[in-house]
Structure 1
Amino acid sequence: MKKFFSLLLLFTFVILTSCSDESTTSAKETSLQELSFVGFETVSMNDSTQTILIAKEGEYGDSLVVDFVKLTEGMTLYLAADDDPNDPELGERLEETSVIDVTGITSFNVVVLDANRRIDAIWTVTIQEQNASSSSVAKSSSSRIASSSSEIHPSSSFSVSSSSAMISSSSNRLSSSSVSSSSVVSSSSISVSSSSIASSSSVLSSSSAVILSSENTVLSFVVGAVSGVIDTTAKSIYVELAYGDDLSAVAATVSVSEGAVSSYEGAEDLRSPHAFTVTAENGTVAHWTVKAGVQLPGSDFNTWANNKVAPNSFWGTSSDAMATSKSAVVYSYSSEANLTQVSGAAQLETKAIKAATGVITWKSKIATGILFAGTFKTGVTAGDLYKHATDFSQAANLLDYMTLGKDFTGRPTSFTVEYSYSPVAESGIVQKGLIYVMLVNKASKTIVASGAILPTTKVTSTTQTIALNYGDASWMTSDLPVPTGMTVGTGEEEVTSIYVIFASSAYAHIIGLVGAGNGDIGAKGVAGSTLSIGDFKLVY
């Protein structure tokens, strides 16, 4: 009897020890509890092999975006920078929205560190296409079911068999206990197998999850009431704002593909192309750029007021001064307006300023017709422009009456202008037309960018596009009506002002004498030469 009770106690100890071990094992919590990625399905996450299988249908681009990370308290997750399975170098820390470059690879490792920054676990994440993952899920599910049986059934059978053996060798009276124990273990096996099958079924059904969209297009880009022009092929946007708007802080409403997210936030600087991303529902990233620009007021030259291009506050001209006569003690000086509207265009004409005594015309001087961004001094007359001196060694310079430039912060790449040019030839005089644009940093007196047209022969109505070259003004010479004291910059400087000039005679801003003698300043253009300007636009 004593031997029987000893065997009974031994059997009870074996059963309790087995249950205790099972409880301890099942209670152990893995440090990495969940890791998922935007647009990807987590097919399996195996704690024992420390592997994660993720999948999506079709191509997945060159990056993954972390969607959710769940770790045991105090743990942190890092991307492994190499393939060392035991002690890898650490890359960036992984948190929600972290981006992982997966160009050319189908798997990578992540490292879990404990609170003391010691390696707790190294997991391998494998990427698989959806069409291939379905069969893999099925195989994985089968292997789980099989492994569940192999892990639980043998140990349970061993416990029962060994228990039965001990009891049987002691006494037949323990056979009922063996049966009871076997029943318990058997039901345990059935219970675990059922849960494994249920788990497998859920994994299998997850392979038919909804496919996430890969669309990452900008549908609209709106600033106030202005909609940007979208080029979906180039993934670029241009939005044209009103002159005077601040291009350095542009707030916009951006509409993108359903489920996608745009990184454009707040008020951005759109003077130069601003880069932002649109991330699709499945994590695919598209890189977009947006730039803003403005047109100059009245630059179609269709709107006029008081015989001048409107708004008068933006465009300056010497035409009013040319049309204002002046009488002195002996001489009177007169000319005509040299800016007129002809067939919807602004026509500039090089004209003579006449000096006369009574009805006798004395000597004439030649002045270009000029239109420019800026202001012309008020109260100036034809007599002032003639600048009479007894020896004619002096000549008026229109630049002395002109304030060049208007506020401007854009960075256009070129300009387009519709124009025609009709020169009059005269021996010994170089007659050219002139159209130029300068982008300037006024504070530092720096030319940031420039471009020009200097026609020498007749041009019928045409539209021409001229590049604005940043860090270059090689066309510029000192005998042209250009600002003095300027240096050419690198092209990286901030633009604060724009200079635009149209002239029927490029050099006749210096008002020289017709038929000048020795020591006299001669004419720099030929009367009757015309330059007509139609639509003018800046291109961004």
Structure 2
Amino acid sequence: MFVRNGLLLPCVALAFALLTSCGDSDEVVHPVSRPVELLELDCMKEGGVDSLTRTIECNYPKNAESTVKVKKFEFSGNYSAYVVVGDDLEDPELDWAMPVETGAKIPVPDTGALAFAILDGKDRVVDVWKVVFVAEKSSSSKKSSSSSTKSKSSSSSKKSSSSSVKSESSSSEKPSSSSAKSESSSSEKPSSSSAKSESSSSTKKSSSSSTKSGSSSSDKSSSSSAKPGSSSSEKPGSSSAKPESSSSVPPASSSSVKPESSSSEESSSSSVIEVPTNDPLTPIVPPSSSDSDQVVLLSDFAVDKQNSSVHVEGNKVYVEVPYGSNLKALRVLPMDTVANLERPVKMKFVDDLGVLNEYTVVAGMQLPGTTFDARDYSGFWATTSDAMENTVTEAAIKIKSEANLEFGSSQMTISTKEVSGSWIGIEGSWKMAGGFYFAGTYDGTSAIDIYQQGYSSGTPSTGASDISKDMTFGKSFSARPTGFDVTYSYSHVKNSNSTYPQKSLIYVMLVSRDNKVVASGVVTDNSSIGMHKVHVDLAYGSDSGLLSSNYPVASGLSVGTGNENVATIHVMFASSAYAFVVAGGTLGNDNKYRGGENSKLVVDDFKLVY
């Protein structure tokens, strides 16, 4: 679960304003915008977090040690937390030997009083949370609320652009979804997307975009110069999403729901939302007006989907659901009706101050296995590495190579390797294959499928082998992200083929059911670069040059308008952009290698941005 941001009541704000640090008595410690981003205790009751009063309801621990385990406790900035000694929460005394952090076990005092103090970078108390132990109630059901009020933080709205790649300075840890990231000026790297790189280290912090924790991965503080996409119905805002507090408010006027579309047509119903579509295969859900007069609190808005989450940034509400969810038929609460959230829609909610406002509701999802803690076996990702490591002998010729995909330290490494053919132990032919990890499937099973795609019998050919013919590109997907963030490094080894020079490749394409490229974004590097993070805007109505690049892409695609419904997502990570065509000869590379041997692409994190 997560803790939401919100507006402080005047008395709470006043209390915070009176807090000062001991060393700076004339400096007021101002309240911060909810430093606690992700909070989970093993004793926590469902729906037991009240961000407004800073109270956490827990069942009294039943373990013999009477300890509370901190399952998750993460911050959006340079903050820390310690256990409070005693019950003075206005001027708390801290137990410096008992930090509150993920994995910590906190003893519960005999008094049952437990509190945590949040400190800023100067060790000044800026917030205090109190844990209240309550007796368990039998079969009480609480509705989980995962929405929030309007955020005060400013967020640049962003239009769909033609694959410009931005870079930001990154901390030594991987930022959580709501954490603001400050930009620094950095030198631009040559790239097909005009990439600016962002410094980063490989130290990984748990990402709040995990669907298990139910928070978002799409927070960005920077905006890009953008070219508008062809679809006037989509003006994707910044993907930042800061959770906020929720509280009860007096009823206000009724809420209404309407689709945000290029034709400016409005739905007359608040219970079923549909958008105009040029896809004849998309079913139309009949509208209903049964809930047209229902007042909906923003803090109560949620979707009836396990491991989903709702995040509010200004007048944008981002709903994240697990991969594979049907965005056409999401049951929304408390309206208890079905909405089509494949595209942004307009809804009216009452915020915590009792004000009725219109919000743009955007739904999205992350792809499985994109924290790269280990290889994903869900079937979403495919690789040529398994075939590379499977040595075979055909017609007395031994074809061998080695695996070129590995996972470790929450990172994926793919590399470019030689594939060789030898006869009775005498090396006679060499080819070069890149490392590929992509959304789709791969039919090759052994090194002979790399060395000679489509080989059936006879003597393996020394000619070029296009292994992309065994690749099927794309996996089911219907959301409309505005871009993606990727944290990676690249080690460049030059090759001698001037027509197909060595460079890395990362791309995303959204494709319609009739093989139109709805949107795309790409980043490449032709020289080494350390671990860093870049943001790539997806250009709607553009292929970003991918279809004419000689990169490994699906055949039969053409550029769409950007307004088509999305049916699949194509994602590619490659250590050598051109080495899917395995070329070489009996004289070694013979100036034909399309990759540089041992070139490496290391991917640390990948997030879709909405």
Does residue 411 (structure 1) correspond to residue 492 (structure 2)? The answer is no
Q: Secondary structure at the match of 2:327?
A: coil
- Name which of 273, 284, 287 aligns with 2:344: 273
1:432-485: CA deviation from partner (whole Å, max 9, x where unpaired): 10000010013x111110001111111111111111111011331241101111
Work out whether residues 512 and 521 of structure 1, in 8 Å CA contact, stay in contact via their aligned partners in 2: no
Match in the other structure for 2:429: 363
Structure 2 counterpart of 1:372, from 438, 457, 481: 438
- How far off is 1:226 after superposition? 4.6
C-alpha displacement of 1:515: 7.5
Cα deviation code 1:490-516 (max 9, x no counterpart):
000010001111000000000000586
Give 1:252 shift.
1.7
Single out whichever of 368-377 and 283-292 deviates more from structure 2: 283-292
| 1:25-52 CA distance string (max 9 Å, x none) | xxxxxxxxxxxxxxxxxxxxxxxxxxxx
- Structure 2 residue matching 1:219: 3-state secondary structure: helix
Shift of 1:231: 2.6
> What is the CA–CA distance in structure 1 between the aligned matches of 2:586 and 2:391, rounded to whole Å?
22
Q: Distance in 2 between matches of 1:348 and 1:282?
A: 52
* Alignment check: 8 A CA contact 2:432 2:597 kept: yes
Q: Do 2:462 and 2:586's aligned partners in 1 also have CA atoms closer than 8 Å? A: no
Aligned identity (percent) is 37
C-alpha displacement at 1:322, in angstroms? 0.5
Q: Residue 534 in 1 paired to residue 590 in 2?
A: no
The CA distance in 2 between the partners of 1:370 and 1:410, in whole Å, is 24
The change in CA–CA distance for 1:231 and 1:327 in structure 2 (over 3 A counts) is same
Given residue 476 of structure 2, which amino acid in structure 1 is its aligned partner? D
Distance change in 2, residues 1:265/1:417 (3 Å): same
Aligned equivalent of 1:247: 327
Query: How far is the alpha carbon of 1:229 from its aligned partner?
Result: 3.5
Shift of 1:415: 0.7
The CA distance in 1 between the partners of 2:315 and 2:450, in whole Å, is 53
Q: Does residue 1:450 correspond to 2:520, yes or no?
A: yes
Shift of 1:351: 0.4
* Secondary structure of 2:300 counterpart: strand
Deviation at 1:280, TM superposition (A): 8.3
In 1, distance between residues paired with 2:574 and 2:346? 39
Cα shift at 1:284: 6.1
The CA deviation at 1:517 is 9.6
Match of 1:399, SS state, is: helix
Q: Which SS does the other structure have where 1:437 is aligned?
A: strand
2:539 maps to which residue? 469
Q: In the alignment, which of 293, 297, 302 is matched to residue 368 of structure 2?
A: 297
Question: Residue in 1 aligned with 2:310?
Answer: 229
- The alpha-carbon deviation at position 331 of structure 1 amounts to 1.2
Gaps of 5+ in 1: 1-63, 67-214, 255-263, 304-308
1:362 to 1:493, Cα distance in 2 relative to 1, 3 A: same
Residue 428 in 1 paired to residue 497 in 2? yes
Relative to its length, the structure with more strand (as a share) is 1
User: Compared with structure 1, are the counterparts of its residues 405 and 280 closer, same or farther at alpha carbon in structure 2 (3 Å cutoff)?
Assistant: closer
Which residue in 2 is equivalent to 1:331?
A: 397
Task: Supply the AA of the counterpart residue of 1:465.
Answer: H
Q: Number of matched residues?
A: 311
Q: What secondary structure does 1:384 align onto?
A: helix
Are 2:591 and 1:510 equivalent residues in the alignment?
Answer: no
Kept in 2, the 8 Å contact 1:332–1:356? The answer is: yes
Which blocks of at least 5 consecutive residues in structure 2 are unaligned?
Answer: 1-251, 255-294
1:301 to 1:281, Cα distance in 2 relative to 1, 3 A: closer
- C-alpha separation in 2, matches of 1:321 and 1:281: 57
Q: CA deviation at 1:285?
A: 3.9
SS in 1 for 2:448: helix
Aligned match of 1:394 in 448, 455, 463? 463
Measured after TM superposition, the shift of residue 427 of structure 1 is 3.1
- The alignment partner of 1:276 has SS state of strand
TM alignment of 1:33-52, pairs within 5 A:
none
Give the distance between the partners of 1:338 and 1:397, measured in 2 at CA.
18
Residue deviations 1:1-38 (CA, integer Å, cap 9, x gap):
xxxxxxxxxxxxxxxxxxxxxxxxxxxxxxxxxxxxxx
Contact 1:216/1:284 (<8 A) preserved = no
The alpha-carbon distance between structure 1 residues 216 and 244, as it changes in their structure 2 partners (threshold 3 A), is: closer
One-letter code aligned to 1:369? G
Structure 1 residue 488, shift from structure 2 partner: 0.4
CA offsets 1:339-361 (integer angstroms, 9 cap, x no match): 01133211001000011112221
CA contact (8 A) 1:392 1:521 kept: no
Pick aligned residue for 2:448 from 366, 377, 383: 383
SS at match of 1:336: coil
Match of 1:484 among 543, 547, 555: 555
Q: Structure 1 residues 240, 270: CA separation in 2 closer, same or farther (over 3 Å shift)?
A: same
Contact 2:373 2:408 in 1 (8 A): no
State the distance in 2 between where 1:462 and 1:282 align.
41
Q: Could you tell me which amino acid in structure 2 is paired with residue 359 of structure 1?
A: G
Counterpart contact for 1:434–1:505, Cα < 8 Å: yes
> Structure 1 counterpart of 2:496, which letter?
S
Q: Distance in 2 between matches of 1:248 and 1:342?
A: 37
